[in-house]
Amino acid sequence: DVVMTQSPLSLPVTLGQPASISCRSSQSLVHSDGNTYLNWFQQRPGQSPRRLIYQVSNRDSGVPDRFSGSGSGTDFTLRFSKVEAEDVGVYYCLQGTQWPWTFGQGTKVEIK
């Protein structure tokens, strides 16, 4: 199975400041079709997960542009340009290139 490793696991942030989360995979996430199926999800307290980013850098509909994704191969990053209070929650990367699809451990974002 592809192992997804996130860092940090806890991210205290200051409102209005930038922040980032790293996600590394144990093998390349480039699919045989040429696409890279790396997703980012947000789970706010008490809510179901919500996808923010698909195929490394594409924002889902309705996702604020302060969220951005980047990376390639085995190394990926989710960036917040300016953290807002509603961004508190746990963020997960998910690889959908190879079954079984696997999540990272999650990064808990909290306000300092």
Q: How many CA atoms lie within 13 A of 67 on its CB side?
A: 23
Is residue 98 close enough to count as binding another protein by CB under 8 A?
no
Contact stretch for another protein (CB under 8 A) within 10-18, 26-34, 65-73, 89-97: 89-97
Are 83 and 16 spatial neighbours (Cβ–Cβ below 8 Å)? yes
DSSP 97: S
What's the distance, Cα to Cα, between the start and end of the chain in Å?
A: 36
Residue of 19, 54, 59, 68 that binds another protein (CB under 8 A): 54
DSSP 81: S
Our CB check for another protein shows the closer of 54 and 82 to be 54
Candidates 13, 74, 92, 97; binder of another protein (CB under 8 A) is 92
Count of residues in contact with another protein, rule CB under 8 A: 21
Distance CA 109, CA 97 (A): 26
* Interface ranges with another protein (CB under 8 A): 1, 39, 41, 43, 48-51, 54, 60, 92, 94, 96, 99-106
